[in-house]
Amino acid sequence: MAFQNYKPWLGLTGSEWVGLDNFRYLFEREDSLQVIWNTLIIAVFKLMFNLGVPFVFSILLNELRKMVFKRFVQTLVYLPHFLSWVILGGILIDILSTDGGIVNRALGVVGIEPIFFLGNGDWFRFTVVVSDIWKEFGFGTVVFLAALANINPTLYEAAEVDGASRFKQTLHITIPSIIPIAIVVGTLALGNVLNAGFDQIFNLYNSLVYEKGDIIDTFVYRTAILNGEMGFGTAVGLFKSVISMILILISYRLAYKWANYRIF
């Protein structure tokens, strides 16, 4: 389908073959470079922070003594993961409003002018990344906590005998022990580098931030689905899959080299 001017009533066999026309269209559009760039920026930031924040958070959480409190926090940060972006989009528009939104009011108290989070391109990217991390870091934390639970307690005991402080123990035992998991999670996430999060952006973006907020997925949605250009939609899907596959292969090699981790 990616190489056809696909028409549903002609089917796969009857549709006209157009070679690379669909791909050419993807790159010929006046704004396609911008769109791809937006996708990469947003996705890379999300990738980095979605790895870093849960990593740090889970280590901090692990240091807590009260089991009940730890469980409580863990569940609490995990909850937003289950909310849909359709709902969150509506909530975010309200709380980030320049006109009495709770965030801007709080900023007003410390003397900062209201910020148009969803209407200014740069702030839009910031908002998208931060809100995505807020929603998803609980999920990542769970993975790391599982890894932390697997660390052999005798290592800590030995370190204590040697007189290592709590901080030293974290630095030399905890972190090295979960680095491999972090690399695996990062490797898997790399495959998603061209997915900047359709559900989220689609529910938050608006024409004021098209320049900095339009990503491949929203652009394909408008072109392929709304205008019925199935061939083009498939072409972009294929393009994304190929890029993702290359990235995964590379990162898999790297993971093997640095973390001695391999699946096959």
Partner 1 sequence: MRTGSKKSLLLSICMMTVVGIVAGCSGSSGNKENAQGTAPIETTTSENAYKDKYDPPISITTVWGVDPELRFKNNETIEKNVATQWAKDTLGIELKSLWSVTDTNNAFATKMRLAMSSGQEMPDVVTIGDEQLAQDLIDSGLFREVGSLFDQYASDTWKKAVELDNHVWDPYLRDGKKMGIPVLDYAYNHDYLLWIRQDWLDKLGLEAPKTLAELEIVMDAFKNKNPDGLAPSEVIPLSIGFKNKMNTWMADPSWIFGAYGTIPQQWNVGADGKLEYGSTQAGSKQALEKLKEWFTKGYIPKEAALWDENKAADPAVAGKAGILPGPYWMSGWPLVDTVKNVKDAVWKPIAIPTGADGKAGRHGTKYTNGVVLINKKMKNPEAVFTYQNYMFNNLADPQVGSEFDNGVFKGYDYDIDASGKVLHLDDIPGGYVNSIRYLLVRDGARIPDAQMKALLNLANGGEAKTKLELEAKNNYGTETPAAAKVILEQDSISMKNMFTGPTTKTMKSKMDYLNKIESQAFNEIIYGEKPVDSFDKFVETWKASGGDAITQEVNEWYDTVK
The binding site for partner 1 (CB under 8 A) comprises: 1, 7-12, 25, 29-31, 93, 97-99, 118-119, 192, 195, 197-200, 206-208, 210-211, 214, 217, 219-230, 233-234, 237, 240
Nearer to partner 1, 32 or 177 (CB): 32
Q: By C-beta, is 5 or 170 nearer to partner 1?
A: 5
* Shortest Å, Cβ 252 to partner 1: 19
Structural contact between residues 192 and 244, judged by C-beta atoms closer than 8 angstroms: yes
Measured from the CB of residue 17, what is the shortest distance to partner 1 in angstroms?
Answer: 17
- Whole-angstrom distance, CA of residue 240 vs CA of residue 220: 12
Rounded least distance, CB 138 to partner 1, Å: 14
Comparison of 164 and 208: residue with beta carbon closer to partner 1: 208
Other CB atoms within a 10 A radius of the CB of residue 88 amount to: 19
| Structure tokens that stand for 258 in this block | 């640095």
158: how many CB neighbours lie within 10 A of its CB? 13
User: What is the C-alpha separation between 53 and 244, in angstroms, rounded?
Assistant: 23
Q: How far apart are CA 200 and CA 136, in angstroms?
A: 12
Closest separation between CB of residue 251 and partner 1, Å? 18
Nearer to partner 1, 77 or 92 (CB): 92
